[in-house]
Structure 1
Amino acid sequence: MRTFVSAVGVILALLLIAVAVPAAWVDANVVKEDGFVRMAGALGKDPDFQNRLTGAAVSTFESSVQLPEPVRNLAGDALKGAANGMQSWSDYPQAWEETVRNSHRLNFGGQTEESGSPTALLLDIAPLVRLIRDHFASSTGITLDVPAESVVTLGQPSQRQIVERVSAFAPLWWVAALGAAVSVLLALAAARRRALVFVFLGLGGLALAALWSTTADLAVSSVQNLSSGNSVAELFKQEFLESSRSGFGQWIVVDVWVSAAVLALGFLGWLVAGRRRSPSANRATTAR
Structure 2
Amino acid sequence: MTLRTFVSALGVILALLLTAVAVPTAWVDQNIVKEEGFVRLAGALGRDPEFQSRLATAAVATFESSVDLPGPIQSLAAGALRSATSGMQSWSDYPQAWEETVRNSHRLNFGAVNQSEESTSSTALVLDIGPMVRLIRDHFAEATRISIDVPAESRVSLGEPSHRQLVERVAAFAPLWWVAALGALISLLLALVAARRRSLVLVFLGLGGLALAALWTAGADLAGGVVGNLSSGNGVAELFKEEFLTAAKAGFGEWTLTAAVVSGAVFVAGVIGSFVSGRRGSRSAGS
Q: State whether TM-score is above 0.5.
A: yes
User: Offset of 1:154 from its aligned partner?
Assistant: 1.3
Partner of 1:101: 103
Q: What's the Cα RMSD here? A: 2.3
User: Offset of 1:5 from its aligned partner?
Assistant: 0.4
Q: 1:211–1:265: structure 2 CA closer, same or farther, 3 Å change rule?
A: same
Partner of 1:2: 4
Q: 1:179–1:116: structure 2 CA closer, same or farther, 3 Å change rule?
A: closer
Is the CA contact (8 Å cut-off) linking 1:115 and 1:149 kept in structure 2? no
- 2:15 counterpart of 1:13: yes
- The amino acid of 2:15's aligned partner reads A
1:163 pairs with one of 163, 167, 183? 167
| Cα offsets for 1:51-80 (capped at 9, x unmatched) | 443344334434444556664443333223
Partner of 2:150: 146
Is the CA contact (8 Å cut-off) linking 1:115 and 1:151 kept in structure 2? no
Q: 1:230–1:48: structure 2 CA closer, same or farther, 3 Å change rule?
A: farther
Is the CA contact (8 Å cut-off) linking 1:49 and 1:232 kept in structure 2? no
2:56 pairs with one of 54, 57, 65? 54
User: Offset of 1:119 from its aligned partner?
Assistant: 3.0
User: Offset of 1:101 from its aligned partner?
Assistant: 1.0
User: Offset of 1:104 from its aligned partner?
Assistant: 0.8
Counterpart mapping for 1:1-288 below 5 A: 1-46=3-48, 49-65=51-67, 67=69, 71-110=73-112, 112-113=115-116, 118-283=122-287
- The amino acid of 1:31's aligned partner reads V
Give the whole-Å Cα distance in 2 for the aligned partners of 1:79 and 1:225: 31
Q: 1:66–1:227: structure 2 CA closer, same or farther, 3 Å change rule?
A: closer
User: Offset of 1:192 from its aligned partner?
Assistant: 1.0
User: Offset of 1:47 from its aligned partner?
Assistant: 5.0
Give the whole-Å Cα distance in 2 for the aligned partners of 1:39 and 1:117: 27
Give the whole-Å Cα distance in 2 for the aligned partners of 1:221 and 1:61: 30
User: Offset of 1:118 from its aligned partner?
Assistant: 4.2
The two structures have a TM-score, normalised by structure 1, of: 0.89
Stretches of structure 1 that go unaligned for 5 or more consecutive residues are 284-288
Give the whole-Å Cα distance in 2 for the aligned partners of 1:214 and 1:44: 28
Structure 1 window deviating more from structure 2 (186-195 vs 34-43): it is 34-43
Give the whole-Å Cα distance in 2 for the aligned partners of 1:190 and 1:96: 54
Is the CA contact (8 Å cut-off) linking 2:59 and 2:236 kept in structure 1? no
Stretches of structure 2 that go unaligned for 5 or more consecutive residues are none
Is the CA contact (8 Å cut-off) linking 2:158 and 2:230 kept in structure 1? no
Is the CA contact (8 Å cut-off) linking 2:57 and 2:85 kept in structure 1? yes
Q: 1:68–1:235: structure 2 CA closer, same or farther, 3 Å change rule?
A: closer
Give the whole-Å Cα distance in 2 for the aligned partners of 1:246 and 1:41: 14
SS at match of 1:26: helix
User: Offset of 1:117 from its aligned partner?
Assistant: 7.8
Give the whole-Å Cα distance in 1 for the aligned partners of 2:204 and 2:55: 50
- The amino acid of 1:124's aligned partner reads D
Is the CA contact (8 Å cut-off) linking 2:121 and 2:161 kept in structure 1? no
User: Offset of 1:17 from its aligned partner?
Assistant: 0.4
- The amino acid of 1:203's aligned partner reads L
| Cα offsets for 1:79-103 (capped at 9, x unmatched) | 2322232122121122111111111
| Aligned-residue identity in percent | 70
Aligned residues: 283
Is the CA contact (8 Å cut-off) linking 1:133 and 1:144 kept in structure 2? yes
Q: Which has the larger radius of gyration?
A: 1
Q: 1:278–1:20: structure 2 CA closer, same or farther, 3 Å change rule?
A: same
SS at match of 1:122: strand
Give the whole-Å Cα distance in 2 for the aligned partners of 1:117 and 1:43: 29
User: Offset of 1:247 from its aligned partner?
Assistant: 1.2
